[in-house]
Amino acid sequence: MKPIRGLSVWSLHVPPVLVWVFSRYSALKEEGNVLFKVGDMQGAACCYTKALKLSGSQAESAVLHRNRAACYLRLEEYSKAESDASKALETDPGDMKARFRRAQAFQKLGRLDQAFLDVQRCAQLEPKNKAFQDLLRQLGAQIQHKVMLSQLNSTDARVQQMFSLLLDASAKESDRQKAAQNLVVLSREEAGAEQIFRNDGVKLIQKLLQSKQEEIVLSALRTLVGLCTGHQSRVSQLCAVMGSDVSTVSLAACHLLQVMFEALTEGMRREIRGKEEAILPEPSKELRSMLRHLLGMMPASNVSGPGRDSAINLLVKQVPRKSLKNPDNSLTLWVIDQGLKKILEVAGTVPELSEGLRLTDNSHMSCSVLLSKLYDDLKSDKERENFNKLCEEYVQQHFSRPGLDGKLRAIQTVSVLLQGPSDVGNRTLEMSGMMDAVISLCASEDVTHQQVAVEALIHAAGKAKRASFITANGVTLLKDLYKKSENDRIRVRALVGLCKLGSAGGTDFSMKQFAEGSTLKLAKQCRKWLCNESLPPTSRRWSVEGLAYLTFDADVKEDLVEDKNALQAMFELSEDKTVLFAVGSTLVNCTNSYEVEKPDPQLVELAKYAKQHVPEEHPKDAPSYVEKRLAKLLEAGVVSALVCMVKQESPALTEACRECIARVFLAVVERQEDRGTVVAQGGGKALIPLASDNTDVGKIKAAQALAKITITSNPEIAFPGERIYEVVRPLVSLLSLDCTLLQNFEALMALTNLAGINDRLRQKIIKEKAVPKIEGYMFEEHDLVRASATECMCNLVLSPEVQKLFLATGNDRLKLLVLYSGEEDERLRKAAAGTLAMLTAEQPQLYLQILRQCFKIVQALLLSEIPDLRHRGVVIVQNMMQAEKSLAESLMESEALEILSVLAKGGEDMPDPVSKIAQNCLDKAMEYGIIMSREGKEKCKGTEP
């Protein structure tokens, strides 16, 4: 039955009783709302109850039940609150208020799982609701605590059972071993660790460490790792265990000590388990006690080589400051005073001599890294002078002893110092008689004497003045050793010495120590040694050292990249920790990724006129040659080799080595078509740690490589999962005046891509304080940088935090966008207009400002011949018209009406979206009654007299 026009429903006959019921229901409901607002929960609940009896529909009853549930929550009658909220949800399952109130009631009733499900549903539908998120976090913590308590009860019996078996001497050995392994599993669980502490488990584990069975000792160590991770703990005899000849036991003990160090240095503010708070009242005292034990391992004869290396590695990781911004280097000073000479004992050890300390092939390299780290951590000339003095005293003490053993120890110590803190090494090398002793021992008939002396000679040729001295005094000797020695160890070292001297001119083509072609012959021999798998790894390692020097010569680079066997051998050998820097340096040379300062042409002419030396570049170092070398290295698998090098856990992976790897990565991602290959082979993942743990230059190189990958690859594929958020900080670090404009530009482009992915990434960019930097680059004179910064801002304005910046009073951000929308640079205009389009969609407060500031510019966008600009223009107009009628009236009074009419008709040069949006604008104007449709106009004409 159709309603009769002009007659309202209330004009029909309604029984007076129903009218009274409806008015009474409304009055009770309103009275309940008023009482609720003033805090009278009992009165409000009473009113809602009376109104429920008069409600005429399920929808009305649902609202009353929801309101009464809120009253019962305040009155702490949680069962009634849950019942009312459930009744409301039966009628309307989408009622978020009722569901949230039921979740609150469930929480108070202890029904946490049901509460979690309700509030999780609320949070999914309204993810930005702070109340929902807060309750979700509370419930998550309460559920976790409840689970832990239940686990504690069930775990206690299992822990007691394991302890009983381990303490029972009559139990089967296999059962005891299983019990020890089960204890490891339990220690990794929060509940299990708690019960082990409560049952005095640390004392039992200490007894197990004294067992003669390897499996029992390993299980005890692994249990302690589980207990100590992230917490403070105290365990005796660990250093002795780490010095064990059994490598698995030594590594397990090293892992445990590492965990303990981290707990002592970083975990003092964390929660302390069980009884440990009473055991360890002074972490700094305990830390120094552990360091004293580690230093004591250095000269101990009963410590294994791997154990001693582990102790050095721990000292490298824990003693020097992590950041020079931290003013406290007292731990380094303490280690130097208490243990520098003990460390030098390892540095001066010649394993081949009788009664020497047991070392590995990595020991001397690790020792040089530790000495370098300690020296670099010193803050003043006084501290450095003390370090020099202690080293000189140690070297002089051994050098002045009668017999050759002391002199060999002194020379070996100098070699290690030259590889580490080279300034200290050079000072000790200049001690009276030292260089003469090195030269004379090179001619010794004893292979060990020759080896020590030749290595010292190689390391001494580090500076140009030293190289020229050795060239004059030692080249003939090295040639004789290479040609006449019957020992491969001596020959390969002599060859490396010649390589280093032959490359003393670096990349300067005009400064060559040897005759033309000599370096090519040396390199050929190095490649031959490198590919000879029958040689010991130490000898092959030295051949890579030789190539690291010889590849300054472009002819050598060309030959090396053509030799696939040599490249493969070098990549395989890079698994050897001590050869990392040599491989990295070789690759830097082959890819020309070192810094080259191009002199000013006028200064070059002046230098020639004054007959000064002018560096010359090798013809084969031209970009075309470098590009071909990069292609061959990629084909040979250089990316996989670099990724493996980054994964090395060794002091040999120094910051200098990391910088080399970062430089090579930047070179191999230079070409856009190669970036997919780099990502596929794990290069993206490997670059992230290089951008955070590196030299200052290395960080920038790695960050720039990340930027290049992020620009051209899908970031979600290149950096899957949480890794994509780790890319933001390195990219923001490139927004610095210390970086080049190219690096700034690439960082802005990469951040633009990230900001367009999701809000969480935008929040990460904001958190890294990138927005003020990006705004600064919006004023850059360079067109591309200015446009890329505006593009980045265009994506960032999707974030409410950035929108607030444009809403702030007294700022000119909006004016800048308006001005840029009228610039000649097409890319800049698109970015600025796109930002305005997004802002007008998100922030209605901006419409009036935009109308005043950019009326003519919006018209210019609408009239633009560029489709993208027309599109942005009609979107801005549509947003403004939808905001309020007055804005629409102002627009329609201008030429915009005529322009929109033309755009709405479409045409060959009018994309469908533009025509559709223009028509939407006209439809909105008709809806407001500002303009009339064609039919309306015709009707108006028909009524005219």
Please give the distance of CA 27 from its chain centroid, rounded to a whole number.
Answer: 62
Written as one letter, the residue type at 685 is K
For residue range 381-390, what is the model confidence (pLDDT) as tens digits? 999 999 999 9
Residue 332 contacts residue 285 (beta carbons within 8 Å)? no
- For residue range 690-739, list pLDDT tens digits in order: 999 888 999 999 999 999 999 998 899 889 888 899 999 999 999 998 89
pTM reported for the whole predicted model: 0.66
**CATH architecture label of 16-152:** Alpha Horseshoe (1.25)
Cα separation, 244 vs 919, in Å, equals 83
Specify the pLDDT at position 444: 81
Q: Enter the tokens of residue 552.
A: 């300054």
Q: What is the pLDDT of residue 279?
A: 34
Q: Report CA-CA distances (Å) from 879 to 559, 860, 923.
A: 64, 17, 13
Q: What is the pLDDT of residue 280?
A: 34
Token pair belonging to 123: 């949070």
Tokens matching residue 612: 């000064």
List beta partners, residue 910: 907
- Collapse the DSSP code of 910 into the 3-class scheme (helix H, G, I; strand E, B; otherwise coil) and give the result: strand
b/e map of 856-865 (b: 16 or more CB within 10 Å)? Answer: ebbbbbbebe
Averaged pLDDT score across all residues of the chain: 78
For the chain, which residues score pLDDT lower than 50? 1-14, 17-18, 152, 230-238, 267-283, 464, 505-513, 515, 613-614, 934-945
Pseudo-torsion of CA 742, 744, 747, 753, nearest 10°?
A: -90
Q: What is the pLDDT at residue 275?
A: 35
Domain range summary for the chain, segments of one domain joined by +:
16-152
**Separation CA 659–CA 695 (nearest Å):** 6
Q: Give pLDDT, residue 678.
A: 92
